[in-house]
Amino acid sequence: MTPETQYDAACLLAIAARSDGSIATQETEQLVSLMQRGFAIKESAALQLVVRALDDAPDTQGISTLLQNLEFALDRKQKENLIVMLLEVVAADGVKDAREISVLDKAITGLKISDTSMDRAYRSYFAQRQSAST
């Protein structure tokens, strides 16, 4: 994944995190952790990417261009991984918010995620949560 694509993905995650009007500490920590794990970068680089994304990311109205860039740049597996990352951001603060779910829905549509890919993403997400709790 190119640095530009990583940045676009980070912006999408930042949009989801702040779509409920604020970003909880858990969401910020989750963003850094996701960038570090998902992009195999050092924590300091992940923190810089998150700060830049939070500063630069458009509001939910400007999500279309990001999704077009990501839909073109990512393969199926990368899209599934990005959806798992979005699910983790949405769940990070423990609060279900319709605006965060709306960003997830727009991402699924904009990235042209198939039902089969969504099934794999959900299974991956719930398997990670289950292994983290044991």
**What is the structure's pLDDT at 44?**
93
Side-chain half-sphere exposure of 83, counting CA atoms within 13 A: 31
Q: How far apart are the first and last CA of the chain?
A: 31
The answer to whether the beta carbons of residues 83 and 51 sit under 8 Å apart is no
Q: What is the pTM of this model?
A: 0.89
Cα–Cα distance measured from residue 29 to residue 45, given in angstroms and rounded to the nearest whole number: 14
Domain carrying residue 22: 3-133
Q: Tens digit of pLDDT for each residue in 15-47?
A: 988 887 778 787 788 899 999 998 999 999 999
Structural domains in the chain (count): 1
Higher-confidence position of 133 and 98: 98
Q: Tens digit of pLDDT for each residue in 77-118?
A: 999 999 999 998 888 777 778 888 899 999 999 999 999 999
